[in-house]
Amino acid sequence: MEKSVTQICGILTSGGDAPGLNAAIRGVARTAMDVYGIKVIGIENGYRGLIEDDSRVLEPWEFSGILARGGTILGTSREKPFKDKNWQNDENGPGAVELIKKTYKKLNLDCLVVLGGNGTNTTGYLLSQEGLNIIGLPKTIDNDIAETDITFGFHTALTVATEAIDRLHSTASSHNRVMVIEVMGHKAGWLSLYSGVAGGGDVVLIPEIPYDIKKIAHHLEERVRSGKTFSIVVVAEGALSMEEAGLDKKAFKKARAEMSGSIGYRVAREIEEATGQEARVTVLGYLQRGGTPVAYDRVLASQFGTAAATMLAQGDYGKMVALQDNNIVGVPLELIAHRIKRVPLDHRMIATARAVGTCMGD
């Protein structure tokens, strides 16, 4: 492909940060600049930077030494321009989407590369419907983006969560306790399921499989009867009970608002009440998102980034870069927008967990 010195692309990172973002930015920008001669403009703090017209031309030196760095050199925000009414000064004011279109035009962009999760790629799709050229990249520790086998960030979070479970084993065993560890993942249980299998969780609770506390209690009591002195319970932050699964959205929200502490604390309380075993809670939180990306995420993010740059040089817009059956492909954004990739109930990891004796709460 010839160098197209006339092209200009914008790049932004949006939504919760994830390890590997900088490797992806580097992959896009270096390939775009060095291979295709495309000028790259970094937009600050996600879509908010486009609304506020906050950007800078990225220089080649900015990508040195960032592969191993967590977070994002561009900053991020959870700005949702299609929902956000704050930017509308009066009834006839421009609104966030109009401001984005204005900045896109002002910067003379040929394309905007958006690095983010479901919300980011959905916004990307909606902007492409407004006439902007968009290429998306799948980033999230939750691994819940449709049409891609894996997202970058997931493997780092998995490594952190697994190490945490490993560490909890020794203290659980010293004190003969039940250790509950709450792992991120509101709607999808990939992280809890994979870390639960990798760390040997005795109980793993994911949002896709509502739990029955009686089944959990039975499993934990059986462990004690068989001579096991401690147990590890991995809980996704979006885990829910069978009773809650029967509630409508409003009633569920109300029940959760009245809940004291996060789900990990509730599960620990329920276990203590049902079994009399002593339980302790660890909420892993943002440790899962921070810090150095593991090699897998750096490699995946670099491959996604270089593929995105090639797509933009070819004018192959309106797509998200994805990994499908070990191939890097471009998937139309309309297939990704407004969707979430949850763990299918017949997924082999659920079967694996059950086969090695893990209680899935049902």
Residues catalogued as catalytic: 142
Cβ distance to ligand F6P smaller for residue 207 or 361: 207
> Which residues in 223-252 contact ligand F6P (CB under 6 A)?
237
Which of 7, 9, 12, 16 contacts ligand F6P by CB under 6 A?
16
Cβ distance to ligand F6P smaller for residue 12 or 217: 12
Binding mask 70-99 for ligand F6P (x = CB under 6 A): --------x---------------------
Cβ distance to ligand F6P smaller for residue 78 or 169: 78
Among residues 110, 89, 92, 137, which one has the least CA distance to residue 40? 110
Check residue 28 for interaction with ligand F6P (CB under 6 A): no
Which of 13, 123, 140, 192 contacts ligand F6P by CB under 6 A?
140
Q: Is 115 helix (H, G, I), strand (E, B) or coil?
A: strand
Cβ distance to ligand F6P smaller for residue 117 or 136: 117
Q: How far is the CB of 186 from ligand F6P (least distance, A)?
A: 4
Check residue 321 for interaction with ligand F6P (CB under 6 A): no
Check residue 62 for interaction with ligand F6P (CB under 6 A): no
User: CA 337 to CA 136: how far, in whole Å?
Assistant: 11
Check residue 141 for interaction with ligand F6P (CB under 6 A): yes
CB 152 within 8 A of CB 304: yes
Check residue 181 for interaction with ligand F6P (CB under 6 A): no
> Which residues in 271-290 contact ligand F6P (CB under 6 A)?
289
By CB under 6 A, which span of 98-106, 138-146, 217-225, 274-282 interacts with ligand F6P? 138-146
Q: How far is the CB of 184 from ligand F6P (least distance, A)?
A: 3
Q: How many residues bind ligand F6P (CB under 6 A)?
A: 11
Q: How far is the CB of 227 from ligand F6P (least distance, A)?
A: 36
By CB under 6 A, which span of 3-11, 179-187, 242-250, 271-279 interacts with ligand F6P? 179-187
**Residues 6+ positions from 267 with CB-CB distance below 8 Å:** 180, 205, 211, 213, 216, 233, 235, 239
The two tokens of residue 3 are: 């160098």
Among residues 21, 27, 17, which one has the least CA distance to residue 311? 27
Q: Which residue is nearest to ligand F6P (CB)?
A: 16
CB 195 within 8 A of CB 165: yes
DSSP 94: -
Cβ distance to ligand F6P smaller for residue 94 or 265: 265
Q: How many helices (H) and strands (E) does the chain have?
A: 12, 11
The two tokens of residue 123 are: 């916004």
- H-type helices in the chain, by residue range? 21-30, 47-51, 95-106, 118-129, 154-175, 190-199, 213-225, 242-245, 249-258, 263-275, 295-313, 348-355
Q: How far is the CB of 39 from ligand F6P (least distance, A)?
A: 30
User: CA 180 to CA 201: how far, in whole Å?
Assistant: 10
Which of 134, 184, 331, 359 contacts ligand F6P by CB under 6 A?
184
Q: Secondary structure of the chain: what % helix, strand, coil (to 5)?
A: 45, 15, 40
Residue 286 CB neighbour total at 10 angstroms: 11
Q: Which residues make up the interface to ligand F6P (CB under 6 A)? A: 16, 78, 117, 140-142, 184-186, 237, 289
